[in-house]
Amino acid sequence: MNLFGKKAAMMLGIAAASAMVFSASAQQQRPNYEGKPAFAGQTRAPLAKKSARYELTDFVVGLNRPWAMAHMPNGNMIVTEVPGRIRIISPDGDVSDPVKGVPAVRAWGSRGLNDIILDPDFENNRMIYFTYLGAPDGYDTDNSDEAYQKSGQERQEWNGLSREEKAANPWGTWRVASAKLSSDEKNLSNVKVIVETTPSRMAFDDDGKLLITTQRKSPMGSPNLKDTFGTVLRINKDGSVPADNPFVGNPDVNDMAYVIGLRNSNGMAKNPITGDFWVADQGGTTGDEINVLAAGKDYGWPYVAYSPMPRERAEGESGVMKDGTEQPIYYWDPSLAPSSMMFYTGDMFPQWKGNLFLTGLSSAHVSRLVLVGDNVAGEERLLDEPGHRLRHVSQGADGAIYVLQDMPMRKILKISAPEE
């Protein structure tokens, strides 16, 4: 077994799982913004008490900028690497060679081949969906680490171009694509670009429609709602617009939009109790939010936010409340830069059932939120290691929790119950 499959040293931890909480808050830093919450409990939840023991292992090491993972019915995991590779990982941590057939990616930093999810009927149709920064026509790349390094150097030069030069020499195009994974899990076929947007996370709703969170346009001015920046999109599997989308027929909003008024929603998960989709929205230096999605709603950005919004404040009304916009159910100040979220539903940690888990990029920890209905009653911070960027959290079929770390040690961590 190569370095990918080696399991590293273990450590035992104590994790919070009880609904009982202490009075102290998990957020100890001074707020960056002086705005007041709209209601009690909207921020700085009490520190959750500790009760569940867990074991932390290095499940896989040696990946290059892992970004997303999905768990297949056979127990294998499908994982993306930013340079443009898809790999299959066995339940024992063995890592495959790159899956063939991935489109040409022009990656730099954390942008390249990003999110990946399975079709709801994957067992029968073998379809997957992924987001990537497509290379322009004629650009020579093989999605290797060498190509990734070369692209990073080119990006520095490209950043120095004028606006006109950039327009004449576009870097690449953000895309969402579908493809069929072969039964031996070695090849992609029937690759089809279904939409071009600025995607982050994806999920399927109960009607089989694809939800896609998008990133903001920078610099931020008054939003053009015909664009898809700062929205959650809802489309059919082939990229067409569902007739029941809330903004269909509205001349001022893109037909694909499901909700508007978000900034950078890098986490999305379905609440297993209510069926609602929740998103984690990055607010900048402060004001990261959790919002509950409802069709046709406006979540306020850039006019309303728990943030001073330096450089990005739009003209018009600003603050934390505005008629016609929705309030977040929770926010952080300072920022944790949420990068993913999931509701825990497994049996390995029964005390955690129904809890919400989020990874943080700048905060370098996993937040576990104890919920009472749609309210955050307590927060605990796991795997708190300064300088580590945690990109994605997910639950395996065995009930274990997996966490992608893309910097500085590029690996997948596994949180599981300790052996007795």
Q: For 239-275, how does the pLDDT look when each residue is reduced to its tens digit (9 = 90+)?
A: 999 999 999 999 999 999 999 999 999 999 999 999 9
Is 4 part of any domain? no
Query: What Å distances lie between residue 39 and 32, 44, 410, CA to CA?
Result: 19, 12, 39
Confidence (pLDDT) at 228:
92
386-416 confidence digits (pLDDT tens): 778 999 999 999 999 999 998 877 899 999 9
Is 386 part of any domain? yes
Q: What is the mean pLDDT of the chain?
A: 88
Q: Give the residue numbers spanning the domain of 159.
A: 11-416
Is 1 part of any domain? no
Percentage of the chain with pLDDT > 70? 90
Q: Is the pLDDT of residue 288 over 70?
A: yes
Q: Is the pLDDT of residue 339 over 80?
A: yes
Confidence (pLDDT) at 222:
58
Is 348 part of any domain? yes
Dist. CA 323–CA 342, nearest whole Å:
30
Is 267 part of any domain? yes
Q: Is the pLDDT of residue 171 over 80?
A: yes
Is 340 part of any domain? yes
Is 3 part of any domain? no
Q: Is the pLDDT of residue 357 over 80?
A: yes
Confidence (pLDDT) at 160:
96
Q: Is the pLDDT of residue 359 over 60?
A: yes
Is 50 part of any domain? yes
Q: Is 78 exposed, middle or buried (0-12, 13-18, 19+ CB in 10 A)?
A: buried
Confidence (pLDDT) at 14:
31
Cα angle value 50/11/385 (rounded, 5°):
75
Confidence (pLDDT) at 34:
74
Amino acid at 243: A
User: Structurally, how many domains does the chain consist of?
Assistant: 1
Q: What CATH number is given to the structural domain containing 302? A: 2.120.10.30
